Amino acid sequence: MAGPTHYELPLPEFDKPVKLLIAVAPYYRDIADGLIVGAEGVLSAAGATHEMIEVPGALELPAAIAQAHRMAHFDGYVALGCVIRGETTHYDTVCNDSSRGLMLLGLQGACVGNGILTVENHEQAAVRADPEGQNKGGGAAAAALHLVALGRRWGQPRGDVGFRPASDEIRLAGRDRA
């Protein structure tokens, strides 16, 4: 028996190039590979380009994306990884903190698609990561693209708020008076 269906928004269209960063925690390499294939397929379908980096685990994904957001020039970010429940509460910490970190980045203006699977076992992860199945990697890429499209629709950040720095002419003129 098939599960309930869900609606997926059509991919946005862009008039200017879009470049995303795919950040991957390949702790479970086979699962990560499926997520990557799905994400790359969606980005390709939307005409977007990407770079990819790997980090040790899901907890490092928000930090890596935060660094890229501060230091590089990407339109959006796709976080991919998998956390499988173990025998300790470490699972809860990794799930909650990685998700919270990505959410905070989004609230600060980063266009982040969260593709970190949080599952009970490897079989659940494999179904969700399969690009021909649930394609959660592709879903995370689509989410990032939709956020990029919203940002472009509403314009660029307004920039600095408050006083404007004095122009070079005014600063130089002030030195002559001293």
CB of 129 closer than 8 Å to CB of 138: no
Give domain status of residue 91, yes or no. Answer: yes
- Containing structural domain, residue 78: 19-177
Measured from the Cβ of residue 116, the count of other Cβ atoms closer than 10 Å reads 21
Give domain status of residue 55, yes or no. Answer: yes
> pLDDT over 70 for what percent of the chain?
85
Name, in order, each residue with C-beta under 8 angstroms of 171's C-beta and a sequence gap of 6 or more.
Answer: none
Q: Please give the helix or strand (H or E) that residue 107 lies within, else none.
A: helix 90-107
Give domain status of residue 81, yes or no. Answer: yes
Question: Which candidate, 34, 89, 87, 91, places its Cα nearest to that of 57?
Answer: 91
| Cα dihedral across residues 80, 133, 46, 145: positive or negative | negative
pLDDT digits (tens, 9 = 90+) for 26-57: 999 999 999 999 999 999 999 999 999 999 99
pLDDT number for residue 173: 55
Question: Which candidate, 152, 65, 154, places its Cα nearest to that of 114?
Answer: 65
Residue positions annotated with a catalytic role: 90
What confidence category does residue 5 fall into, taking pLDDT thresholds of 50, 70 and 90?
confident
9: which 2 tokens? Answer: 């928004």
pLDDT digits (tens, 9 = 90+) for 79-96: 999 999 999 999 999 999
Question: Which candidate, 53, 87, 56, places its Cα nearest to that of 67?
Answer: 53
Give domain status of residue 160, yes or no. Answer: yes
Give domain status of residue 14, yes or no. Answer: no
What confidence category does residue 4 fall into, taking pLDDT thresholds of 50, 70 and 90?
confident
> What is the DSSP-derived secondary structure letter of residue 111?
-
Question: Which candidate, 105, 84, 79, places its Cα nearest to that of 95?
Answer: 84
Total domains in the chain come to: 1
pLDDT digits (tens, 9 = 90+) for 154-164: 986 555 555 55
pTM of the shown model: 0.85
What confidence category does residue 101 fall into, taking pLDDT thresholds of 50, 70 and 90?
very high
Give domain status of residue 157, yes or no. Answer: yes
Give domain status of residue 10, yes or no. Answer: no
